[in-house]
Amino acid sequence: MYSPFTGETEWVEIFNAGKETVDIKGWMLGDRNKPEGSIIIEDSYPVFLDDYIVIRKDSGLIFDFDGNIRVIIMSKGFPRFNNDEDDVILRNSEGIIIDSLSYESNWGGDRGVSLERINPYKDTNNRDNWGSCVETKGGTPGKENSIYSVITPSKVSINISPNPFSPDNDGIDDYVTISYFLPFNKGYIKIEIYDVSGRLVKRLFNNEPTGSARSVIWDGRNNEGKILPIGIYIIYFEAIQPE
């Protein structure tokens, strides 16, 4: 997160994509202005396989996010990342670069929206492997990225479940989940609901940024918040891949 909202602080997430637990005691985090970095933590701190660690200057609003987040407060020497372009450099205790990224603002991210890596096993500095977070809170610190994808499907796939559903608040099939999978990692989607007369009754997404897979829940209400009558409804789905 290089461009947080006013009152928030920047943060960096580390993901252990290796084959064993790593102790980051004495590791350093730097930027273009100070590439040698500053020590993240002086005590022993294990990062387990497939584990996430969030590093930031203070606790801030990080706990507004869901889940149990492992946070390291780096109160001294945390870099100030530029919004237009900068470097993120991670070194071990011996000063050896473990990973580094040279990003630009057109890679993704925005005010209050984090820059996310799509595939943690692909080249760090491949701009096509980065994009904006599509989570409504603007970030997914301490858990899988919202646009994470290791295997990209070969074609568009949409699943609707349950079908039919009955939004009558009886606790049984009150919501329908629309899940989709796209043959590209970054794009924009539009999802609209029409009745059998072709009238638009609900717009779920309108040119919303997306990763290769996502699910959305519809509660059977129209754009005015009223429950629609029983009947057949048509889902219009549009996905656009940016050039």
Residue 3 lies in a domain: no
Q: State whether 77 and 126 are in the same domain.
A: yes
The answer to the question of residue 112 being in a domain is: yes
pLDDT, residue 202, reads 94
Same domain as 203, residue 169: yes
pLDDT at 64: 57
Domain containing residue 162: CATH number: 2.60.40.4070
Instruction: Say whether both 21 and 92 belong to one domain.
Output: yes
Q: 16 and 109 in one domain?
A: yes
Return the closest-CA partner of residue 127 out of 137, 113, 115: 115
Residues 162 and 123 occupy one common structural domain: no
Instruction: Please identify, among 117, 132, 147, the residue that sits at the C-terminal boundary of a domain.
Output: 132
Answer yes or no: do 104 and 161 share one domain: no
Write out the residue range of the structural domain in which residue 86 sits. 11-132
- Asked if residue 151 is part of any domain, the answer here is no
Whether 147 maps to a domain, the answer reads no
pLDDT at residue number 199: 93
Indicate whether 110 and 188 sit together in one domain: no
Residue 83 is part of a domain; what is its CATH number? Answer: 2.60.40.1260
Answer whether residue 142 is part of any domain: no
pLDDT at position 67 is 60
Q: Which of 132, 147, 170 is the last residue before a domain boundary?
A: 132
Whether residue 123 sits in one domain with residue 60: yes
**Residue 221 DSSP code:** B
Decide if 96 is inside a domain: yes
143 located within any domain = no
Peptide bond into 164 cis (omega under 30): yes
pLDDT score at 203: 93
What is the predicted pLDDT for the residue at 152? 62
Q: Which of 63, 98, 132 is the C-terminal boundary of a domain? A: 132
> What are the distances in angstroms from CA 78 to CA 4, 165, 241?
15, 50, 36
Tokens 């997160």 appear where? 1
Residue 24's closest CA among 13, 8, 10, 35?
A: 13
If one counts the domains in the chain, the total is 2
Is 163 in the same domain as 58? no
Nearest-5° angle of CA 147, CA 32, CA 5?
50
What are the pLDDT tens digits along the chain (243 aa)?
888 888 788 888 988 888 888 888 889 888 888 888 888 888 888 888 888 888 888 766 555 556 677 888 887 888 888 888 899 888 888 888 888 889 888 888 888 888 888 888 888 888 878 888 878 788 888 888 887 876 666 678 888 888 888 887 777 888 888 888 888 777 888 999 999 999 999 999 998 888 777 778 888 899 998 988 888 899 999 988 876
Does a structural domain hold residue 51? yes
Are both 97 and 189 inside the same structural domain? no
